[in-house]
Amino acid sequence: MTRPVLALTLGDPAGIGPEITAGTLAAVAGEEGHHGVAVGDAEALRRGARAAGVAAEVREITDFGTAPAGPGVIDVLDTGVLGDDLPPFGTVDARAGRAAVAAIETATRAALDGAVAGVVTGPINKEAIWQAGSKHLGHTEMLGELTGVTRQDTMFVVRNTAAEGHHLRIFFTTRHLSLRSALDRITRENVLRAIREAATALRVFGVPEPRLAVAALNPHGGENGAFGDEEIVHIGPACEAARAEGLDVTGPVPADSVFHQGLTGRYDGVLSHFHDQGHIPAKTYDFDGTISVTVGLPILRTSVDHGTAFDIAGTGTADHGTMLSAYRAAVDYSPAVPLIRRTYGS
């Protein structure tokens, strides 16, 4: 694919998604080698562009194969859910939820059909999509159903600006669970499965001989059972089993140091065990640059790692930096699409 076309979903039209999509597309308009197309309601994108102060023409297209018009023009494939009847910024609205879901469905179908190389998703509001009738917890589960995949995982990509070219990838044994529920899922079998999946993802996304660290769960790695025995009973044995399979795995490594070690180049990836264990270091180190890649899908999907920011939606203060990073990551990963399909396709 000499010039990858990427579909950028607007997310919830009452949030900052249209603003950061407009800012991203305006920033890359006219660049050679790729073409970004917004997917969602055209009027929502126009409103977002005005709010963000983006002085670009919003051109409606009907075919992802349409050639880009160059600087000053951003393209949108209009899903036509809302028309001119836009929900107010910063409100939870079932209409906005329906629009967000329609954009995801349209972009995903295009990726499955090969019309686009990948999908870059803007932030959605879970309550809004639930009001619209969706039963999914969020993007990842929705994409799994749309692509026929029963298990997907999240890979955070964190840039180290001090080490040129080095990116740390963060994986998760569990994701959207309460902390109490997540702790019950930290078993030898689940950790070993997560290690295997992380190693596969690292290879698919460009690390041929991945070095993976597995975080400990308890303070100081449990201090030989004084602060908890998960490292002894579950995490340590999972690491040993992975090494017996030939994987380059270190762990368990105390969580208060493993992310720093990864950022400085000792590891290519870190497996964290619950949502905040991986999210907090990534977002603290580089909130605007950290992006999310969904692995396990037969399509390429990158995403911002923040929410709809209803409190600032429409004010023009939203930073499109994370969306731009997610877009550029999708461009960089687009050559891997054939391998992604072979590895994760049914």
What number is the average pLDDT over the span 43-61? 97
State the number of CA atoms in the 13 A half-sphere of 1 facing the CB.
Answer: 22
Q: What percent of the chain has pLDDT over 70?
A: 97
The token duo for 91 is 């409100």
What number is the average pLDDT over the span 161-177? 80
pLDDT at residue 150 in the model: 87
Confidence of residue 211 (pLDDT cuts 50, 70, 90): very high
Tell whether pTM > 0.75: yes
Strand pairing partners for 225?
Answer: 228
pLDDT at residue 165 in the model: 62
Nearest Cα residue to 7 out of 92, 89, 79, 91: 79
Of 15-29, 164-178, 185-199, 218-232, which range is least confident?
Answer: 164-178
pLDDT at residue 306 in the model: 86
How many Cβ atoms sit within 10 Å of the Cβ of residue 134? 20
Tens digits of residue pLDDT in 91-116: 999 999 999 999 999 999 999 999 99
Instruction: Assess whether pLDDT exceeds 50 at residue 1.
Output: no
pLDDT at residue 3 in the model: 76
Tens digits of residue pLDDT in 226-277: 999 999 999 999 999 999 999 999 999 999 999 999 999 999 999 999 999 9
Which residues fall within 8 angstroms of residue 308, CB to CB, at 6 or more apart? 11, 12, 14, 15, 16, 17, 123, 124, 125
The token duo for 177 is 């669970």
* Whether 169 contacts 278, CB under 8 Å: no
Instruction: Assess whether pLDDT exceeds 90 at residue 151.
Output: no
Q: Cis omega before residue 88 (within 30°)?
A: no
pLDDT at residue 345 in the model: 87
Instruction: Assess whether pLDDT exceeds 50 at residue 85.
Output: yes
